[in-house]
Structure 1
Amino acid sequence: MEIKVIDQDFSICKPENLSQIKFEDDYIFIGKTDEELSLVCSTESVPDNTLSRDDGWKAFRIQGVLDFSLIGILSRITTLLADNKIGVFAISTYNTDYILTKKENFEDALRVLSDNGYIIKK
Protein backbone atom coordinates (compact mmCIF):
# COMPACT_ATOMS: atom_id res chain seq x y z
CA MET A 1 0.00 0.00 0.00
CA GLU A 2 1.23 3.48 -0.82
CA ILE A 3 1.55 6.40 1.60
CA LYS A 4 1.73 9.96 0.18
CA VAL A 5 3.41 12.61 2.32
CA ILE A 6 1.63 15.98 2.35
CA ASP A 7 4.30 18.66 2.40
CA GLN A 8 2.90 21.28 4.77
CA ASP A 9 2.43 21.97 8.45
CA PHE A 10 -1.00 21.51 10.02
CA SER A 11 -2.80 22.80 13.08
CA ILE A 12 -5.79 21.35 14.88
CA CYS A 13 -8.01 24.05 16.28
CA LYS A 14 -11.38 25.12 17.61
CA PRO A 15 -12.66 28.17 15.71
CA GLU A 16 -15.45 30.24 17.17
CA ASN A 17 -17.45 29.79 13.93
CA LEU A 18 -16.96 29.09 10.20
CA SER A 19 -16.75 32.73 9.10
CA GLN A 20 -12.96 32.97 8.75
CA ILE A 21 -12.12 29.51 7.39
CA LYS A 22 -10.25 29.61 4.08
CA PHE A 23 -12.33 27.13 2.12
CA GLU A 24 -10.15 27.65 -0.97
CA ASP A 25 -7.16 25.94 0.72
CA ASP A 26 -6.22 22.48 -0.57
CA TYR A 27 -6.68 20.83 2.82
CA ILE A 28 -9.28 21.71 5.41
CA PHE A 29 -11.17 19.26 7.55
CA ILE A 30 -14.15 20.38 9.58
CA GLY A 31 -15.92 18.41 12.27
CA LYS A 32 -19.06 19.76 13.89
CA THR A 33 -21.20 18.21 16.61
CA ASP A 34 -23.73 19.52 19.08
CA GLU A 35 -20.81 20.19 21.46
CA GLU A 36 -17.97 21.55 19.35
CA LEU A 37 -16.54 22.79 16.09
CA SER A 38 -13.11 21.46 15.10
CA LEU A 39 -10.86 22.40 12.21
CA VAL A 40 -7.69 20.90 10.78
CA CYS A 41 -5.96 23.28 8.38
CA SER A 42 -2.54 24.50 7.33
CA THR A 43 -0.84 26.33 10.18
CA GLU A 44 -0.61 29.47 8.09
CA SER A 45 -4.41 29.44 7.59
CA VAL A 46 -5.56 29.14 11.21
CA PRO A 47 -8.47 31.60 11.55
CA ASP A 48 -8.08 34.66 13.77
CA ASN A 49 -11.26 33.68 15.63
CA THR A 50 -9.69 30.47 16.93
CA LEU A 51 -10.41 29.75 20.60
CA SER A 52 -7.82 26.99 21.01
CA ARG A 53 -5.15 25.44 18.78
CA ASP A 54 -2.46 22.78 18.65
CA ASP A 55 0.30 23.41 16.09
CA GLY A 56 3.12 21.19 14.91
CA TRP A 57 1.39 18.43 12.93
CA LYS A 58 2.48 16.73 9.69
CA ALA A 59 0.27 14.50 7.53
CA PHE A 60 0.18 11.71 5.01
CA ARG A 61 -2.61 10.09 3.08
CA ILE A 62 -3.24 6.47 2.26
CA GLN A 63 -3.12 6.57 -1.55
CA GLY A 64 -6.01 5.43 -3.70
CA VAL A 65 -9.74 5.30 -3.29
CA LEU A 66 -10.54 3.12 -0.28
CA ASP A 67 -13.73 1.19 -0.82
CA PHE A 68 -16.04 1.02 2.20
CA SER A 69 -15.83 -2.79 2.11
CA LEU A 70 -12.09 -2.70 2.89
CA ILE A 71 -11.48 -3.62 6.50
CA GLY A 72 -8.55 -2.91 8.79
CA ILE A 73 -6.45 -0.51 6.71
CA LEU A 74 -6.59 2.36 9.19
CA SER A 75 -6.44 -0.03 12.13
CA ARG A 76 -3.24 -1.68 10.90
CA ILE A 77 -1.48 1.66 10.39
CA THR A 78 -2.55 3.13 13.72
CA THR A 79 -1.60 -0.09 15.54
CA LEU A 80 1.89 -0.07 14.00
CA LEU A 81 2.35 3.54 15.06
CA ALA A 82 0.90 3.00 18.54
CA ASP A 83 3.20 0.02 19.07
CA ASN A 84 6.07 2.44 18.39
CA LYS A 85 4.71 5.08 20.80
CA ILE A 86 3.62 7.44 17.99
CA GLY A 87 0.31 9.19 18.59
CA VAL A 88 -1.98 9.98 15.67
CA PHE A 89 -4.91 12.15 14.67
CA ALA A 90 -6.87 10.33 11.96
CA ILE A 91 -9.29 11.89 9.48
CA SER A 92 -11.39 10.08 6.92
CA THR A 93 -13.02 11.50 3.81
CA TYR A 94 -15.35 9.70 1.45
CA ASN A 95 -12.45 8.31 -0.60
CA THR A 96 -9.49 7.95 1.72
CA ASP A 97 -7.86 8.30 5.13
CA TYR A 98 -5.38 10.87 6.39
CA ILE A 99 -3.05 10.41 9.35
CA LEU A 100 -1.45 13.28 11.23
CA THR A 101 1.40 12.92 13.72
CA LYS A 102 3.35 15.51 15.62
CA LYS A 103 6.34 16.85 13.63
CA GLU A 104 8.89 15.32 15.98
CA ASN A 105 7.44 11.84 15.33
CA PHE A 106 6.74 12.16 11.61
CA GLU A 107 9.98 10.70 10.19
CA ASP A 108 9.81 7.85 12.72
CA ALA A 109 6.22 7.15 11.61
CA LEU A 110 7.29 6.98 7.96
CA ARG A 111 10.20 4.68 8.86
CA VAL A 112 7.92 2.33 10.80
CA LEU A 113 5.50 2.13 7.89
CA SER A 114 8.29 1.63 5.36
CA ASP A 115 9.80 -1.13 7.51
CA ASN A 116 6.39 -2.83 7.43
CA GLY A 117 5.99 -2.88 3.67
CA TYR A 118 4.33 0.47 2.94
CA ILE A 119 5.66 2.46 -0.02
CA ILE A 120 6.39 6.07 0.99
CA LYS A 121 5.99 8.78 -1.69
CA LYS A 122 7.32 12.22 -0.84
Structure 2
Amino acid sequence: MELKKIKWDFSVCRLSDTSTIDLTKEFCFIGKTDEEISLVCITSDVPEHVLKREDGWKAFRIQGVLDFSLVGILSRITTLLADNHIGIFAVSTFNTDYILTKTVDFEKALNVLKTAGYRIV
Protein backbone atom coordinates (compact mmCIF):
# COMPACT_ATOMS: atom_id res chain seq x y z
CA MET A 1 0.00 0.00 0.00
CA GLU A 2 1.22 3.48 -0.86
CA LEU A 3 1.17 6.48 1.48
CA LYS A 4 1.69 10.02 0.18
CA LYS A 5 3.29 12.69 2.34
CA ILE A 6 1.42 16.00 2.28
CA LYS A 7 3.87 18.91 2.22
CA TRP A 8 1.86 21.35 4.35
CA ASP A 9 1.80 21.99 8.09
CA PHE A 10 -1.68 21.56 9.55
CA SER A 11 -3.72 22.89 12.46
CA VAL A 12 -6.70 21.41 14.27
CA CYS A 13 -9.21 24.05 15.39
CA ARG A 14 -12.49 24.51 17.21
CA LEU A 15 -14.82 27.20 15.85
CA SER A 16 -18.09 28.78 16.93
CA ASP A 17 -19.44 28.89 13.36
CA THR A 18 -18.39 28.08 9.81
CA SER A 19 -18.74 31.55 8.28
CA THR A 20 -14.99 32.30 8.28
CA ILE A 21 -13.89 29.02 6.67
CA ASP A 22 -12.53 29.48 3.16
CA LEU A 23 -13.71 26.42 1.27
CA THR A 24 -11.59 27.33 -1.76
CA LYS A 25 -8.41 26.35 0.08
CA GLU A 26 -6.64 23.14 -0.89
CA PHE A 27 -7.26 21.22 2.37
CA CYS A 28 -10.26 21.88 4.57
CA PHE A 29 -11.80 19.16 6.73
CA ILE A 30 -14.87 20.25 8.70
CA GLY A 31 -16.66 18.23 11.33
CA LYS A 32 -19.87 19.46 12.92
CA THR A 33 -21.80 17.74 15.69
CA ASP A 34 -24.34 18.78 18.30
CA GLU A 35 -21.37 19.65 20.57
CA GLU A 36 -18.79 21.37 18.37
CA ILE A 37 -17.45 22.50 15.03
CA SER A 38 -13.94 21.31 14.18
CA LEU A 39 -11.68 22.32 11.34
CA VAL A 40 -8.46 20.76 10.10
CA CYS A 41 -6.64 22.95 7.60
CA ILE A 42 -3.24 24.16 6.46
CA THR A 43 -1.82 26.27 9.27
CA SER A 44 -1.51 29.38 7.13
CA ASP A 45 -5.23 29.07 6.28
CA VAL A 46 -6.57 29.05 9.85
CA PRO A 47 -9.36 31.63 10.02
CA GLU A 48 -9.29 34.47 12.51
CA HIS A 49 -11.19 34.16 15.78
CA VAL A 50 -11.06 30.41 16.33
CA LEU A 51 -12.05 29.31 19.81
CA LYS A 52 -9.10 26.98 20.14
CA ARG A 53 -6.33 25.70 17.90
CA GLU A 54 -3.49 23.23 17.99
CA ASP A 55 -0.71 23.74 15.47
CA GLY A 56 2.18 21.44 14.65
CA TRP A 57 0.64 18.60 12.64
CA LYS A 58 1.89 16.87 9.47
CA ALA A 59 -0.15 14.55 7.28
CA PHE A 60 -0.05 11.68 4.82
CA ARG A 61 -2.83 10.01 2.88
CA ILE A 62 -3.53 6.48 1.81
CA GLN A 63 -3.15 6.65 -1.97
CA GLY A 64 -5.95 5.54 -4.23
CA VAL A 65 -9.66 5.16 -3.78
CA LEU A 66 -10.59 2.85 -0.91
CA ASP A 67 -13.66 0.71 -1.43
CA PHE A 68 -16.11 0.84 1.48
CA SER A 69 -15.99 -2.96 1.74
CA LEU A 70 -12.28 -2.90 2.67
CA VAL A 71 -11.75 -3.64 6.34
CA GLY A 72 -8.84 -2.86 8.65
CA ILE A 73 -6.73 -0.50 6.54
CA LEU A 74 -6.88 2.41 8.97
CA SER A 75 -6.80 0.04 11.93
CA ARG A 76 -3.52 -1.55 10.83
CA ILE A 77 -1.83 1.82 10.36
CA THR A 78 -3.07 3.24 13.66
CA THR A 79 -2.08 0.07 15.54
CA LEU A 80 1.46 0.23 14.14
CA LEU A 81 1.74 3.87 15.19
CA ALA A 82 0.18 3.30 18.62
CA ASP A 83 2.57 0.40 19.26
CA ASN A 84 5.38 2.93 18.67
CA HIS A 85 3.82 5.59 20.94
CA ILE A 86 2.82 7.88 18.07
CA GLY A 87 -0.51 9.63 18.49
CA ILE A 88 -2.64 10.39 15.45
CA PHE A 89 -5.57 12.48 14.26
CA ALA A 90 -7.40 10.73 11.40
CA VAL A 91 -9.72 12.29 8.84
CA SER A 92 -11.66 10.31 6.27
CA THR A 93 -13.09 11.47 2.97
CA PHE A 94 -15.31 9.62 0.52
CA ASN A 95 -12.23 8.28 -1.32
CA THR A 96 -9.56 7.71 1.30
CA ASP A 97 -8.12 8.39 4.75
CA TYR A 98 -5.69 11.04 5.95
CA ILE A 99 -3.53 10.49 9.02
CA LEU A 100 -1.99 13.39 10.89
CA THR A 101 0.75 13.11 13.49
CA LYS A 102 2.48 15.79 15.47
CA THR A 103 5.37 17.21 13.46
CA VAL A 104 7.94 15.89 15.94
CA ASP A 105 6.68 12.32 15.33
CA PHE A 106 6.13 12.52 11.57
CA GLU A 107 9.42 11.07 10.31
CA LYS A 108 9.34 8.36 12.98
CA ALA A 109 5.81 7.46 11.88
CA LEU A 110 6.84 7.22 8.24
CA ASN A 111 9.84 5.04 9.17
CA VAL A 112 7.63 2.70 11.21
CA LEU A 113 5.22 2.33 8.30
CA LYS A 114 8.01 1.91 5.74
CA THR A 115 9.53 -0.86 7.87
CA ALA A 116 6.09 -2.52 7.97
CA GLY A 117 6.00 -2.63 4.18
CA TYR A 118 4.22 0.57 3.22
CA ARG A 119 5.59 2.55 0.28
CA ILE A 120 6.09 6.25 1.10
CA VAL A 121 5.92 8.77 -1.73
Note whether the superposition's TM-score is higher than 0.5.
yes
In structure 1, C-alpha distance between the alignment counterparts of 2:88 and 2:22, rounded to whole Å: 24
Aligned length: 121
Equivalent residues in 2 for 1:35-50 (5 A)? 35-50=35-50
Tell me, yes or no, if the aligned pair for 1:56 and 1:103 is still in contact at 8 Å. yes
Report deviation, 1:17.
Answer: 1.0
Contact 1:13/1:54 (8 A) holds in 2: yes
Structure 2: gaps (5+ residues):
none
User: Does the CA-based 8 Å contact 1:10-1:58 persist in structure 2?
Assistant: yes
Aligned partners of 1:62 and 1:96 also within 8 Å: yes
Cα drift, residue 22 of structure 1: 1.3
SS in 1 for 2:51: strand
User: What residue identity is the alignment partner of 2:78?
Assistant: T
- Determine the C-alpha separation between the residues in 2 that align with 1:31 and 1:16: 12
Code of the residue aligned with 1:31 in structure 2: it is G
RMSD: 0.5
Alignment of 1:1-122 (within 5 A): 1-121=1-121
**For the residues of structure 1 that align with 2:16 and 2:63, how far apart are their CA atoms?**
33
Which one-letter code corresponds to 1:90 in the other structure?
A
Shift of 1:25: 0.8
On the 8 A contact 1:59/1:98 being kept in 2, the answer is yes
Alpha-carbon distance in 2 for matches of 1:25, 1:108 = 28
What is the deviation of 1:11?
0.2
Q: Aligned equivalents of 1:38 and 1:108: distance in 2? A: 27
Aligned-pair CA distance for 1:81: 0.2
SS of the counterpart of 2:57? strand
Residue deviations 1:40-93 (CA, integer Å, cap 9, x gap): 001011110200000000000000000000000000000000000000000111
Mapped partners of 2:16, 2:72: distance in 1: 35
